[in-house]
Amino acid sequence: MARNHPPGRNRRQGVVLLAVLAGVMLIAALAGTLRARAGATSAALARLADTHREALAEASVIAQVRAAWGQPTAAIRRADGTPVVITHDGMRWEIRVTDVEGLVDLYAAPMPVLGLLPGVSAGDLASRRIRMIAGLAPGDRHGSVVQTMAAMGMDAGERARLMPLVTQRARTGEINPTLAPPELRGAALMLSEQDIAGGDLAQISARRVE
Whether 27 has a pLDDT exceeding 80, the answer reads: no
Give the per-residue pLDDT at 195. 85
**How many Å apart are CA 56 and CA 113, to the nearest integer?**
33
Give the per-residue pLDDT at 123. 96
**How many Å apart are CA 107 and CA 115, to the nearest integer?**
14
* pLDDT category of residue 17 using cuts at 50, 70 and 90: low
User: 56 or 39, which is more confident?
Assistant: 56
Enumerate helices (H) and strands (E) in the chain, giving the number of each.
Answer: 6, 5
Q: What are phi and psi of 167, to 5 degrees?
A: -150, 175
Q: What is the pTM of this model?
A: 0.75
DSSP 35-104: HHHHHHHHHHHHHHHHHHHHHHHHHHHHHHHHHHTTSTT-S----B---EEEEETTEEEEEEEEEGGGSE
* pLDDT category of residue 72 using cuts at 50, 70 and 90: confident
Least confident of 21-35, 49-63, 191-205: 21-35
Q: What is the mean pLDDT of residues 65-76?
A: 87
DSSP 6: P
* pLDDT category of residue 46 using cuts at 50, 70 and 90: low
Tell me the average pLDDT of the chain.
Answer: 85
pLDDT tens digits, one per residue of 86-96: 998 888 999 99
Task: Indicate the Cα dihedral angle 140, 142, 143, 148, nearest 10°.
Answer: -150
